[in-house]
Structure 1
């Protein structure tokens, strides 16, 4: 069994595109706590996204 965590991360737009450092920092921070990235999800891909949902999992403690 696994625990799941859903973290909303604002999309930061730069002149040349999207700033990936924001969600990368969230993934790295949670990885240090034992979480594993499952998916980065955009809820409304047809529109200009305002946030990502970072989906993480880790084994449930016995």
Structure 2
């Protein structure tokens, strides 16, 4: 039976890239208008992306 080995330690550059990719990016701030009690927030996302939409009033 073959033993599983430990994963290699990431390089400093790989660690930096992982930390950078794990942070949220503020892509833009938009003002939206209220029409008949509703708002529409048009958003385009990259594949498998996640967005946080914060609405203050």
TM-score, normalization by structure 1: 0.38
Name the structure, 1 or 2, with higher relative contact order (CA <8 Å, separation 6+).
1
Q: Which has the higher strand share?
A: 1
Larger radius of gyration, structure 1 or 2? 2
